[in-house]
Amino acid sequence: MAYLAFYRTFRPTSFDTVVRQEHIVRILKNQIESGKIGHAYLFCGPRGTGKTTLAKIFARAINCENPQNGSPCGKCATCRALAEGSSLDISEIDAASNNGVDEMRDLREKVQYPPVAGKYKVYIIDEVHMLTQSAFNAVLKTLEEPPRHAVFILATTEPQKIPATILSRCMRFDFKLIPQKDLEELIKSVLTKTGKEFENEAVSAIARAGAGSARDSLSIADMCASYSTGKLTYSDVTAVLGSADFVKIAEICRYILAEDENGAFTAVEEILSTGKSVGVLVKDLLSFLNYVAIAKVCRNSREIINLPEETYSAVAEIAKNCNGHKLLRVTEILAQAENDLRYSTSGRITLETAVLKCSLPEQDYNIDALIGKIDSLERELKNLKLNPSVPQAQKPAVQAEESRPAPAVRAAEPAQPPVKAALVEDDGVSPFSQPAQKKEEAVQPVLWEQTPAVAPSGSLSENDKRTVFGKIIKSLRTTHKNAVLFTLCMDLETEFEGDKLIFITDNESVYKALNRADNYNFMGGVVAEFGITEYEIRYRPKGESDFDKALGELKNNFGGTNITIK
């Protein structure tokens, strides 16, 4: 007899041997035991999850003379005939090659004939979404009201392509992807039955490559068993899958996360020069970054990843030293590159561009890149606080947030002179490095160190009062700490009572938010930079007349005076 692939040799023949899909198995078994057999079923879900297998088991079970716990017995004459394929009561139709209206008209005529040996005549239509609209229309009425002896089982991976008129006439069952743990148990049982020794790490790698599909997993296991002459190892599986060397992949990811564009680019060139596929390399990089994310987030990452000890150690080391924002950004860039490869005529350039973008966050204005840079500066400042013995020349020219004066409603102090920082000259190694700068260069002060646009004084001129609000809004917009305050202040109105600045809003929520202690104090520090020593947030509802406005001002200015309205 000709050799049969693993997924054909070990295809389940009863409901009890089906891997997962318990929600579907239970319904079908209960229908068989109670005799409530439907006339049309729709099995939909990802490839290799058991749609056709369950359809065949169900077709045999409803025709079996002595079903055992809902499954076919496999011993009666009907079961033997169905297993040998000599029965005319089960018809399998490939809709991909029989998708025309003529084939469906022929089916409609044949369905009228009663079964030969069993109770039901079962039609299994695989890839039913490939039928044309005319073919669907031809079978529509028959599918709705078939003869009592006819049962239709439609199988598809793309149920969204099936007309609603067909869907409404079928009992729909959605198949799920098979969890990795169940795939590992399936592969182990198959390899054990064939007498093949294996490493647990190799089985885990096969199950991960199967991506939830039992058929794909068994196909990969079949290739690996043929490749390996002795015990199946993890390296055998990676060789069969065409994956790049794990050490090289780890090296590329380490360079990328360390923002070493020279090392990352060189390592990528070395792998591609050996003939490795660009698509496979991107997939390997994303898989490794996924391992790193699991190792960084999950406590039981060792059991989840299930890699050899030395391999897992490399993943854990990178996960320990990398930043979460940076890891997320790199993963998103490479995922986008994988998608771009489908439309790119030069996949190599697409990958190399993505690697450089990952390694050069200072050249990227993406929000994740900016967050990563801020996080790096904060960690440097924290290290300086923990190690005060670090020479002054090595300290970055960045003023910590804690060093900012406490915001209060008071006049701004005189601006400090520009900070001097010793900048290390560029060594010229990277072609993307910034031009060398002088060792002594004035660093641009941060916002609250700059000279106020309006010099503090005892009183503001009328021209200053007209322009100060716009300068305050500009100050809030250009400060990364104040995005919320900038939004809240956009629709405010302003007026002056002497030298006191009044912010007016008709939104009660904005009024309450700006009067909250932290926001109020911060705003006080901002307006103080423009020579304003006193300010107030007022709530003025819409529709308030000028009289009401004037009366409110009187009551506010003369709180202890009895004001009579006539």
Average pLDDT across the chain, whole number: 79
Regarding predicted confidence, which is higher, 208 or 376? 208
Last residue of a domain, one of 337, 368, 399: 368
Note the pLDDT of residue 2: 72
Q: Is the pTM of this model over 0.85?
A: no
C-alpha span between 144 and 165 (Å, rounded)? 9
Domain shared by 315 and 358, yes or no? yes
Looking at the structure, do residues 150 and 23 belong to the same domain, yes or no? Answer: yes
What's the pLDDT tens digit per position in 78-122? Answer: 888 777 776 788 888 988 888 888 888 888 888 888 888 788 999
- The CATH number of whichever domain residue 469 belongs to comes to 3.30.300.180
- At residue 43 the predicted structure's pLDDT band, cuts being 50, 70 and 90, is very high
Choice between 33 and 381, residue whose per-residue pLDDT is larger: 33
CB count within 10 Å of CB 282 equals 22
Q: Pick the last residue of a domain from 174, 205, 227.
A: 174
Give the pLDDT confidence score for residue 468 in this predicted structure.
80
CA distance 302 to 311: 11
Say if 227 falls within a structural domain.
yes
Q: Residues 189, 158: one domain?
A: no
Q: Would you give the distance in Å from CA 344 to the centre of its chain?
A: 23
Q: What is the pLDDT of residue 220?
A: 93
Q: How far, in Å, CA of 130 to CA of 123, rounded?
A: 16
Q: Which of 133, 152, 174 is the last residue of a domain?
A: 174
Higher pLDDT residue, 44 or 69?
44
Give the number of domains in the chain.
Answer: 4
- The answer on 234 and 97 residing in a single domain is no
Residue 144 lies in a domain: yes
Alpha-carbon gap, residue 369 to 372, rounded angstroms:
5
In a domain, 539, yes or no: yes
Residues in Cβ contact with 511 at an 8 Å cutoff, skipping those fewer than 6 apart: 505, 537, 538, 539
pLDDT band of residue 243 (cuts 50, 70, 90) is confident
133 shares a domain with 194 = no
Q: What is the pLDDT of residues 300-338, one digit of tens each?
A: 888 888 787 888 888 999 988 888 888 888 999 999 999
Over range 250-273, report the average pLDDT.
89
| φ, ψ of residue 515 in degrees (nearest 5) | -90, 0
327 and 343 belong to one structural domain: yes
Cross-strand partners of 174: 44
184, 215 Cβ separation under 8 angstroms: no
Task: Report yes or no on 515 lying in a domain.
Answer: yes
**pLDDT tens figures, 158-172:** 999 999 999 999 999
* Domain presence at residue 254: no
pLDDT of amino acid 459: 64
Whether 410 is in a domain gets the answer: no
Query: Which CATH number belongs to the domain containing residue 192 in this structure?
Result: 1.10.8.60
Q: Does 425 map to a domain? A: no
**How many Cβ atoms from other residues are within 10 Å of residue 542's Cβ?**
6
pLDDT digits (tens, 9 = 90+) for 466-482: 788 778 877 776 554 56
Neighbours of 293 (CB within 10 A): 18
- 190 and 166 share one domain: no
- In this structure, the answer to whether residues 170 and 185 fall within a common structural domain is no
- Mean pLDDT to the nearest integer, 356-375: 70
Residues 352 and 230 in one domain: no
C-alpha neighbours within 13 Å on the C-beta side of residue 324: 4
Q: Which domain holds residue 187?
A: 180-241
Max mean pLDDT among 65-74, 152-161, 276-285 falls in: 152-161
The domain that contains 48 carries what CATH number?
3.40.50.300
In a shared domain, residues 153 and 188: no
- Does residue 140 carry a pLDDT above 80? yes
Predicted pLDDT at 88: 82
Contact between residue 359 and residue 388 where contact means Cβ atoms under 8 Å apart: no
Find the helix or strand (DSSP H, E) in which 302 lies.
helix 301-305
- Tell whether 505 is covered by a domain: yes
pLDDT of residue 413: 43
The reply to whether 211 and 316 lie within a common domain is no
Regarding whether 135 and 29 lie in a shared domain, the answer is yes
